Structure formats: structure tokens, C-alpha cells
Amino acid sequence: MSPLSLAFLVILALTTTVQSHNITKILAKHPEFSTFNHYLTITHLANEINRRQTITVCAVDNAAMSDLLAKGLPIQTIKNVLSLHVFADYFGSKKLHQVTKGSTSTATMYQATGEAPGTAGYVHITDVKGGKVRFTPEDNPSQTDTTYVKSILEMPYNISVIQISAILNSPEAEAPTAAPDLNLTSLLQREGCQAFYDLLTTSGAIGTFLSSADGGVTVFCPTDDAITKFAPKYKNLTASEKTSLLLYHGVPVYNSMGMLRSSNGMMNTLATEGAKKKYDFDVQNDGNDVTLKTKVVTATISGTVVDDEPIAIYTIDKVLQPRELFKGAVVEADEPAAAPAPAKKKKKPAKKGAAADEDAAAPGPDGDGDYSDDETADSTNGGGRLVAPLMVMVACFSWLIFA
Ligand SMILES: *[C@@H]1O[C@H](CO)[C@@H](O)[C@H](O)[C@H]1NC(C)=O
Ligand SMILES: *[C@@H]1O[C@H](CO)[C@@H](O)[C@H](O)[C@H]1NC(C)=O
Ligand SMILES: *[C@@H]1O[C@H](CO)[C@@H](O)[C@H](O)[C@H]1NC(C)=O
Ligand SMILES: *[C@@H]1O[C@H](CO)[C@@H](O)[C@H](O)[C@H]1NC(C)=O
């Protein structure tokens, strides 16, 4: 399991403990909803649903989905339509049949996207006579024949998955939208990333970024200014070191700003190659700031270029220097206040000095208090690795409540 980074473990911790539901898995047991399920995945709505704590998903069967698909809408529009089928509240069978005064209005995920004009992101639920429950999009009052069919799964009050008889037709949701730009090449050329983009193309590292874009990617672009300052060090690297350095600025998973703000812990990068070359860094939050700590430098996210699943691009104020490439520079260059390395080695037996230099291997030097900053950082980090999933869980939990 060594190639799996801590970032991965953190994600596992998230999915097994905080994320108590997986809509893809729930629907996979019911082949009559396979088309609906497939579209939840390709529109990335499934991830949104899994992230929410209190939610109702109104599934439609494959026949109803083919009616929707027959309209030939672009995928972004299908996403809007399907997001109208996800309510930001919990409606189990019982609650549906007991709506206050026989009728209520609920906000949907379409409303939450901010793309729904007026009240188009709301759905009206009516408990009609004879035990029927009717669903009517707020912007299409003439749709009165779409009703509750059955409950597929109820996990009160986290997620309710129900079947409704047909697609909710909303003129606003079906209106043409500008497709989001998912072309990483052109996104990287936007304001803020140009110098970094140039390095990616001249080195050829861009290929690795592009090939991971479909599955989700987060890119941390050092600002043009940061790249200029770093140029002398960059020139000294070999071609393969340059590539590793650039890949170190990409994470093969989409991370929204909200996700970064609510998670602390180690993150794998596109440069990671198993346990020996970890090329990972530590994401930490300081108030509203998100910092990336590499043990050599600490960079801060300074802006968002794009944050639209599956692609996120942020600017950072410094070039991230991985320990794997800049180990020697740590004590001398960036931490002048620390005791010089040779003095440290003289004091301690050679063996111990060497061990202390490895990741959190030594429990701590012999009480002379002569830690270098480097060692302190190491041991704190070792502890951080163990508690990180826990912290992430707690942070995510509170984030989900507020989201
Ligand atoms: C949800 O379940 C599907 C199918 O079982 C699986 O492929 C996917 O990885 C799961 N997603 C998460 C976030 O666990
Ligand atoms: C709902 O989610 C909470 C928090 O994740 C969890 O403790 C609880 O067991 C879940 N309820 C059900 C019915 O799964
Ligand atoms: C992506 O954008 C680049 C530059 O803007 C362009 O050359 C390329 O053709 C685009 N690729 C696709 C698939 O549209
Ligand atoms: C680049 O390498 C040369 C030769 O090894 C060295 O003298 C110089 O200090 C290095 N420059 C930087 C910025 O690391």
C-alpha cells in the first residue's frame, strides 16, 4: 500500500466516515435507473450529492430518461435539468405524504448552482387527494402529472432516494447555457498562470496535466512574479528535475476551494512515484488562507483562476520546492536562524544525526534542546500525518453543516 499517499488515505477517511452515502452505489442495485445513474456520474452531480448531508434525489427510470435524452440537450443543460431533481432537504415517503397544509416548496441543487433565475430552482410538492404526491417545477405550473412512484432508499435524515414518474420539465433549466470551458490548455493561459504555462509547454510536462484533466485535476500556478524570482534555481535543475518540479504543482484530484479550506493533511501530486519519491506537500488552513507546506517553503493560495469541477486552478505566491529536489537548501538558505548543520552533526553520534534526518524516525534528540528548525518541522509533521484524517473529518463535518 506504500504508493498510496496520505492524501489518498484522507480521501478514504472522508468517504468512509463523513460521506455516509454514495448515490452511484445506491442506484447501481436498480438497473431500471441505470441511465439516470450514468448521467449523475458524467455531470459530476453524483459527487455533489455525496458531499451533501441532507438531500433527496428524485430518480426517473430509463424510459423517462430517454424522453429527456431525445431532446438532444448538451451535457451542461442535462446537468441543470437533473440538478432540479435533487432537493436540498430530506423527504422520505412519510414526510411527502404529510406536507404541511398539503403543499410545500423546496429548493433544489439547481437553485444552489446560482444558475437558476428567479424561483426556477424550486419545486412545488403537493399532497393531492388519494395519497398521491405531485411534483411541479416552480417555473412550469402546467406540469401536474408527475407523481411519486416509490421509495428506493431512506436514510433519515441524510438521504432519501425516491422514484418519480417523469422528468421535471423546466424551461429555465432546459434553456441553452454557455458550456463551461473544460479545456485545460486554454484555462492555463488565463491571467495569472502564463509564466507557469510557458514552463509546462517548454518542458513537455503539460502532457501529464492534460491526461489527468478528465478525471479531475487541481493546479497550483506560481504567479509570474514568483516564477521570475525562482528562475536562477530553476535553471540549475536537470531536465527531469524540472519536470518533477512542474508536476509537483498538480494534484490528480479536483479540489474546490471549500474542500481545501476544510481539509488539512498531506496531498499527493502528479510527481509522486511511490513511497521513495513522495513529492507530497501539506495543506493547512490559517483562517481563510490556505497554505501549502513543502518542508522547504510555505506558499499561500493567492487567487482562483477557475474552480469548476473537474478542474481547479489556483495561483500561489511561491514556487513549491519539493524536499526531494531541494533538501540541501533547507537549513542554509531558508532558515538562517537555525543551528548550522555541521555543528549539529559534531554534537551527536553520526548514526543518530542520520536517523533524525529521515522522516520522523527519531523520537527526539537527547534533551540538549538543540533542534534545528528542520528537525522540528519533521517531527511535527510525523504527528500531523497521524491526526490529519481525524482533523479532516472534523473540519469537513463542520463545513458540510454550513454548506
Ligand atoms: C461509489 O460507488 C461506486 C460504485 O460502487 C464506486 O465506483 C465509487 O468509487 C464510489 N464512490 C465513492 C466516492 O466512494
Ligand atoms: C447520517 O449521517 C450521520 C453523519 O454522517 C451518521 O452519523 C448517521 O448514522 C447517518 N444516518 C444513517 C441512517 O445512516
Ligand atoms: C484547447 O485550447 C487550445 C488553446 O486555446 C487549442 O489550441 C485547442 O485546440 C483546444 N482543444 C480543444 C479540444 O478544444
Ligand atoms: C546553481 O549551481 C551553481 C553550480 O553548482 C551554484 O554555484 C549556484 O549557486 C546555483 N544557483 C542557485 C540559485 O542555486
Pairing outcome for strands 281-286 and 122-128:
unpaired
CA 78 → CA 24, 45, 225, 322, 323, distances in Å?
Answer: 17, 11, 41, 42, 45
**Ligand 4 geometric centre to CA of 238 (Å):** 12
Whether the predicted pLDDT of 343 surpasses 90: no
Are 104 and 125 a contacting pair, CB within 8 Å?
A: yes
**Per-residue confidence (pLDDT) for residue 206, from 0 to 100:** 95
Ligand 4 pocket check for 190: Cβ under 6 Å = no
**CATH fold of the domain at 18-174:** FAS1 domain (2.30.180)
**Per-residue confidence (pLDDT) for residue 384, from 0 to 100:** 35
**Ligand 3 geometric centre to CA of 211 (Å):** 14
pTM over the 0.85 mark: no
For 12-31, how does the pLDDT look when each residue is reduced to its tens digit (9 = 90+)?
444 333 457 999 999 999 99
**Per-residue confidence (pLDDT) for residue 383, from 0 to 100:** 33
**Ligand 4 geometric centre to CA of 236 (Å):** 6
Radius of gyration of the chain (CA): 26
C-alpha cell at 47: 459527487
**Can you tell me the distance from the alpha carbon of 239 to that of 137, in angstroms, rounded to the nearest whole number?**
57
Q: Percentage of residues in the chain with pLDDT exceeding 70? A: 76
Q: Is 112 helix (H, G, I), strand (E, B) or coil?
A: helix
Verify cis geometry, omega within 30 degrees of 0, for the bond prior to 310: yes
Ligand 4 pocket check for 232: Cβ under 6 Å = yes
Helix axes 6-13, 373-402, angle to 10 degrees: 30
**Ligand 2 geometric centre to CA of 20 (Å):** 6
Q: Whose CA is nearest to atom 6 of ligand 4?
A: 236
**Per-residue confidence (pLDDT) for residue 251, from 0 to 100:** 96
Average pLDDT, integer, range 287-301: 91
Average pLDDT, integer, range 368-379: 33
Residue 307: band (very low, low, confident or very high) from pLDDT cuts 50, 70, 90 = confident
Identify which ligand lies nearest to the alpha carbon of 160.
2
Least confident residue range of 112-121, 131-140, 141-150, 282-291: 112-121
Task: Write down the domain spans for the chain.
Answer: 18-174, 184-327
Q: Percentage of residues in the chain with pLDDT exceeding 90? A: 57
**CATH fold of the domain at 184-327:** FAS1 domain (2.30.180)
**Ligand 2 geometric centre to CA of 290 (Å):** 29
Whether the predicted pLDDT of 341 surpasses 70: no
Pairing outcome for strands 217-222 and 250-251:
antiparallel
Identify which ligand lies nearest to the alpha carbon of 328.
4
For 200-252, how does the pLDDT look when each residue is reduced to its tens digit (9 = 90+)?
999 999 999 999 888 889 999 999 999 999 999 999 999 999 999 999 999 99
Name the helix (H) or strand (E) containing 126.
strand 122-128
Ligand 4 pocket check for 352: Cβ under 6 Å = no
Same CATH topology for 18-174 and 184-327: the answer is yes
Pairing outcome for strands 217-222 and 86-87:
unpaired
**Per-residue confidence (pLDDT) for residue 16, from 0 to 100:** 35
Q: Whose CA is nearest to atom 7 of ligand 2?
A: 20
Average pLDDT, integer, range 133-151: 95
* Helices (H), ranges, 189-238: 194-203, 206-212, 224-235
For 248-270, how does the pLDDT look when each residue is reduced to its tens digit (9 = 90+)?
999 999 998 878 887 789 999 99
Average pLDDT, integer, range 68-95: 94
Residue type, 385: R
